[in-house]
Chain A
């Protein structure tokens, strides 16, 4: 799992501020995704990408933007942070060995608090 890295580990924002959560992988797989984890709600898909230049919305995309210019990087942008975006954010990469959609490696997470 060292192949998926996320920065920062922790972040505190004020309402209205913007920031970018970084995700990088060295497994050279095309499929990457972002989830948010909230108590009692499990993990919910925000955005995903099936390759450089291709992104699509997940279950909860509002308030978030993504882009995929390289295979390695998949940043998640919060344009104007809101308290409802307080969560733990996980980046994931599909298992390059199996290629199966349900088998993903997760990053360590970014804990975001919006005041």
Chain B
């Protein structure tokens, strides 16, 4: 069964510091991974997807199949990055279920 683990429930950093939100997954097939973000009083929204290899709002995430990880990174955190972040996994190209991790609440202090 597929599973997504985010080991840190809470993460606190200072503005300008690097930030890394960890995500590990288990899945025997070819995974597709995503990061979703929920800002205070806003809807959950897609942040980025591994297949696009994109940088959104300064965040990047690289899929490491050897370590089964998809950590989210940003070199210089901003206060507006404070939010709940969820890592999510879907199975292959025909999968119809999105499995979320437990979430990490990021707080960026001034």
- The contact size tier of chain A is 20 to 34
Q: Name the A residues within 8 Å of B98 (CB-CB).
A: 33, 45, 101-102, 104
Nearest 9 Cβ contacts at the A-B interface: A102-B90, A43-B100, A42-B100, A106-B44, A42-B102, A102-B34, A42-B103, A101-B90, A106-B43
A111 at the interface (CB under 8 A from B): no
Residue of B4, B46, B98, B103 contacting most chain A CB atoms (<10 Å): B98
Number of A-B contacts (CB under 8 A): 61
Give Cα A31–Cα B46 distance, bound, in whole angstroms.
16
A-to-B contact residues, CB < 8 Å = 1, 31, 33, 35, 40-45, 48, 50, 56, 58-59, 90, 95, 100-109
Interfacial residues of chain B within 16-53, with CB under 8 A of chain A in the complex: 32-34, 43-46, 49
Q: Name the A residues within 8 Å of B95 (CB-CB).
A: 101
